[in-house]
């Protein structure tokens, strides 16, 4: 071994032994592959939006054969990853059967999920005056990609599948800047305008016709700890947002007991930790800002001397 690297390698090997964090082929519980799950996300988008994602369609008549081919291919490639995920949680003889049941449930929900996602596209078109067509939204709006992946990941989360749902939403997070936990429950006609910096926590419940702008956080207020000072897992930690709510840029709503009532509007830069009733307007009252023409400002400055 090159002497220049010996100390580096020895230090790394020590941490491997002490801290773990290695996923190797001989391990008893192999973990899902990140490249494989990334590819699954790409394939799922091609199933939701054929011709927009994945290989282009040559003719409308190709759609039945292309769709069955994509479903069969996806099933064959995602099942081993689900089996790995289940084995990492609890190795058993029923893993293959459990994986088949999860996949049967997942595929049975795709058509309904696509209808819901189309309602999200409709909300984007109606909610954004710059949107010129539905095609533009499908091709260019990051929120549709993030919401679509989250809705599919949520199906797997409902079946208590570990690892993979979070891997899916993190794939979308990395591409879009929108971080939606797969556990969040989101109603129809959901629109995130611009999207960058949006964070939606695991136990959020969002109603229908809700619109968020960039920089919005729906997060946890605090974390309970056990007698050893460790954070308790689970529990309702994130807010509920009822129907027809709009939350403007860079606002933060925190707490598992916080409810934003239906038809309310939360203005920009608000920090909210308490519930608001339906039909409320919540805004941050900033200090007064003076705006003067430059010539007036120059004259006022000169008058001081």
| pLDDT at residue number 303 | 59
Q: Which residues of 164-193 are buried (b: 16+ CB within 10 A; e: fewer)?
A: bbbbbbbbbbeebebbbbbbbebbbbbbbb
In this prediction, the residues of the chain whose per-residue pLDDT falls under 50 are 28
Give the integer Cα–Cα distance in Å for 13 and 19: 10
pLDDT tens sequence across 132-145? 999 999 999 999 99
pLDDT tens sequence across 104-140? 999 999 999 999 999 999 999 999 999 999 999 999 9
Domain boundaries, given as residue ranges, for the chain? 1-176, 184-305
Provide the CATH topology of domain 184-305. UDP N-Acetylglucosamine Acyltransferase; domain 1 (2.160.10)
Answer for the pair 233, 215: CB distance below 8 angstroms, yes or no.
no
Q: Is 263 helix (H, G, I), strand (E, B) or coil?
A: coil
CATH entry, 1-176, from 3.90.226.10, 2.40.50.140, 1.10.357.10, 1.10.3130.10: 1.10.3130.10
Q: Which of 70, 53, 35, 71 is nearest to 167 (CA)?
A: 35
Maximum Cα–Cα distance for the chain, whole Å? 87
Question: What is the pTM assigned to this prediction?
Answer: 0.86
| pLDDT at residue number 225 | 77
Residue that is written with structure tokens 């994602």 in the block: 53
Residue 12 parent element (H or E):
helix 3-19
The answer for 263, left when phi > 0, alpha when psi is -120 to 50, beta otherwise, is left
- Token pair of 195 as six digits: 């999207």
CA angle 210, 216, 217 (to 5 degrees): 105
Give the integer Cα–Cα distance in Å for 185 and 200: 10
The answer for 128, left when phi > 0, alpha when psi is -120 to 50, beta otherwise, is beta
| pLDDT at residue number 247 | 98
| pLDDT at residue number 252 | 98
Note the helical H segments in 128-255: 134-140, 142-158, 164-176
| pLDDT at residue number 28 | 47
Q: Is 144 helix (H, G, I), strand (E, B) or coil?
A: helix
End-to-end CA distance of the chain: 74
| pLDDT at residue number 231 | 78
């Amino acid at each position: 071994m090159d002497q220049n690297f010996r100390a580096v390698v020895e230090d790394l090997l020590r941490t491997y032994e002490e801290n773990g964090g290695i996923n190797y082929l001989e391990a008893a519980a192999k973990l899902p592959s990140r490249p494989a799950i990334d590819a699954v996300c790409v394939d799922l988008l091609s199933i939701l939006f054929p011709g927009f994602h994945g290989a282009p369609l040559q003719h409308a008549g190709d759609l039945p054969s292309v769709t069955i081919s994509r479903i069969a291919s996806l099933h064959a490639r995602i099942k081993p990853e689900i089996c790995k995920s289940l084995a990492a949680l609890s190795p058993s003889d029923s893993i293959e059967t459990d994986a088949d049941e999860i996949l049967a449930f997942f595929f049975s929900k795709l058509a309904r999920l696509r209808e819901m996602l189309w309602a999200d596209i409709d909300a984007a078109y109606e909610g954004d005056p710059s949107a010129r067509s539905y095609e533009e939204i499908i091709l260019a709006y990051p929120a549709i990609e993030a919401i679509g992946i989250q809705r599919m990941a949520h199906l797997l989360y409902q079946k208590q599948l570990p690892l993979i749902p979070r891997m899916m939403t993190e794939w979308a997070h990395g591409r879009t800047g929108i971080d939606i936990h797969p556990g969040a429950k989101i109603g129809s006609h959901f629109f995130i305008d611009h999207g960058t910096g949006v964070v939606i926590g695991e136990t959020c419940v969002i109603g229908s016709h809700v619109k968020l702008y960039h920089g919005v956080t729906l997060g946890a207020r605090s974390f309970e700890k056990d007698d050893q000072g460790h954070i308790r897992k689970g529990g309702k930690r994130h807010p509920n947002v009822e129907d027809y709510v709009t939350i403007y840029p860079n606002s933060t709503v925190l707490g598992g007991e916080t409810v934003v009532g239906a038809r309310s509007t939360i203005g920009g830069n608000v920090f909210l930790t308490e519930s608001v009733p339906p039909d409320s307007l919540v805004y941050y009252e900033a200090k007064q800002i003076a705006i003067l023409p430059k010539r007036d400002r120059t004259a006022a400055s000169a008058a001081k001397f």
